[in-house]
Amino acid sequence: MECRGWKEIYGQERAVGFLAEALRRDEMPHALVFTGPRGIGKSSTALLCAAALLCAAGEPDACPSCLKVARKVHPDLHLLEPEGSHILIDQVRDLEGELNIRPKESRCKVAIIDEAGTMNQEAANAFLKTLEEPPPDTFIILVAESREELLETVASRCHEVRFSALGKRDIEAFLVEEEGLDGAEAERLARLSGGIFGRALLWARSPEQAAHWGRGVELAASLRRSSLLEALEMAAAEREHINDVAREANARGAPLAPGSDELEAYVKAMDKRGGDLLRKRWEKREKREKQKRRGQAALDLFDGMSSFYRDIMLLNLMEEKGKGAGDAPLLNREWMEDLEREALHIGTEAAMRQLESLHRARKAVEANVDIGLLLDSLVLEIKGLKG
């Protein structure tokens, strides 16, 4: 994202229209909550909105100020994300301290609280007064999947902007028209992404990210026929692959990785206190981003495995109803031979148990359980060696 304009957000005309009009009229609410399914552009829209609020032109236009927002180094932009699985009270207090300082470059300050639903009750209660009476020239944007994730006292103090889920055909059309994919590949990514636009877009732009799903399908397809030793070796290989991808992404990094020339140029342009604060803030963010990349790779791997067992369950159910495999809405059509072979050995109930195991594994990733231990435990459970 380069904060070049509202057209960077696809399929959210109502939400974008409200924000653009509020900016034009200078009637932007001081506390907003963006709600809707994950992966549809809420966080990107929050950055665009922040860029417009901090920009002298009042709109995201890729000027130097907007580019600082895009790179998340604008001194008047304050980002709050979960540390681990929750946003904690100390993070909220640090943010409140930053918001009580006068703007450094722009006419206002903007705080974006991503995954706001992860605020624990103590943190949420501590933030109520700031939401109700924000410091002068301060705008706060919360990002959550639904109002219900938030304390009612928090949600009631924010103007809600709802984002809509996109249909599979909408995602396909975007991938063809805007990303230049052929129809078959666009259909495949839209199907595998489960309707999550951000995931389909990421896979289109970074095919190596999509490989985690495929590796998950491959692992699930081979587990039954593998010995325990072979299965554990495959799990170890997946752990290394996930770590390698996280390291490679960190090495490629954003242009503002710690120590980069561009980040140092921003730091030098600020006073010593502001520069030190920016460097520390960016180093913490890079650490969180690396953890998020590792976690997302694991989630994609587990989702790929889940999709295989889901398809087996559907094949079995279709057979029980006397219908052919062609009638089943399969995710992994390209794996039909493997699916039909494994469906002969894995019944509906067994497939359901594997899905439940993978659901628990997914929750454990979100709780920052060690991925290596998690993979070993999952293999033992699927192989029936763990109660």
Model confidence band, residue 46 (pLDDT cutoffs 50, 70, 90)? very high
The residues that bridge with 139 in the sheet, in sequence order, are: 110
Please give the single-letter amino acid code of residue 342.
E
Distance CA 296, CA 145 (A): 17
Q: What's the pLDDT score for residue 252?
A: 47
> Which tens digit of pLDDT belongs to each residue from 8-41?
999 899 999 999 999 999 999 999 999 999 889 9
Average pLDDT for residues 284-293, to the nearest whole number?
A: 78
Average pLDDT for residues 296-316, to the nearest whole number?
A: 94
> Which tens digit of pLDDT belongs to each residue from 328-359?
788 998 999 999 999 999 999 999 999 999 99
- What is the length of the chain? 387
Q: Is the Cβ–Cβ distance between 12 and 49 less than 8 Å?
A: no
Distance CA 174, CA 181 (A): 9
Angle ∠(141,143,194) on CA atoms, nearest 5: 150
Q: Which of 131-145, 195-209, 212-226, 262-276 has the lowest mean pLDDT?
A: 262-276
Average pLDDT for residues 362-372, to the nearest whole number?
A: 88
> Which tens digit of pLDDT belongs to each residue from 129-165?
999 999 999 999 999 999 999 999 999 999 999 999 8
Q: What's the pLDDT score for residue 158?
A: 95
Q: Is the Cβ–Cβ distance between 255 and 71 less than 8 Å?
A: yes
Maximum CA extent, the chain: 73
Distance CA 137, CA 208 (A): 43
Q: Is the Cβ–Cβ distance between 382 and 356 less than 8 Å?
A: no
Q: What's the pLDDT score for residue 263?
A: 63
Model confidence band, residue 209 (pLDDT cutoffs 50, 70, 90)? confident
Question: Is pLDDT at 91 greater than 70 in this prediction?
Answer: yes
Q: What's the pLDDT score for residue 292?
A: 81
Say how many Å lie between the first and final Cα of the chain, rounded: 46
Q: What's the pLDDT score for residue 86?
A: 87
Distance CA 159, CA 144 (A): 13
Q: What's the pLDDT score for residue 265?
A: 66
Region of 160 (left: φ > 0; alpha: ψ -120 to 50; beta: rest) is: beta
**Which residue is listed with tokens 């060696």?**
385
**Within a 10 A sphere around the Cβ of 174, how many other Cβ atoms?**
20
Q: Is the Cβ–Cβ distance between 178 and 10 less than 8 Å?
A: yes
Average pLDDT for residues 323-331, to the nearest whole number?
A: 78
Q: Is the Cβ–Cβ distance between 46 and 78 less than 8 Å?
A: no
| Buried/exposed code over 224-247 (b: 16+ C-beta within 10 A; e: otherwise) | eeeeeeebbebbeebbeebeebbe
Helix, strand, coil percent content, the chain, rounded in steps of 5 = 60, 5, 30
State the pTM of this model. Answer: 0.81
Q: Is the Cβ–Cβ distance between 383 and 357 less than 8 Å?
A: no
Handedness of CA 58, 61, 65, 66 (dihedral sign): positive
Q: Look up residue 107 and give its DSSP letter.
A: S
- Interhelix angle 168-177/183-192, nearest 10 degrees: 140
Rounded to 10 degrees, the C-alpha dihedral 261/266/268/269 comes to 140
Q: Please state, for a pLDDT cut of 70, what percent of the chain lies above it.
A: 91
> Which tens digit of pLDDT belongs to each residue from 215-263?
999 999 999 999 999 999 999 999 998 888 766 655 544 445 545 566 6
Average pLDDT in the chain: 88
Q: Is the Cβ–Cβ distance between 249 and 293 less than 8 Å?
A: yes
Model confidence band, residue 264 (pLDDT cutoffs 50, 70, 90)? low
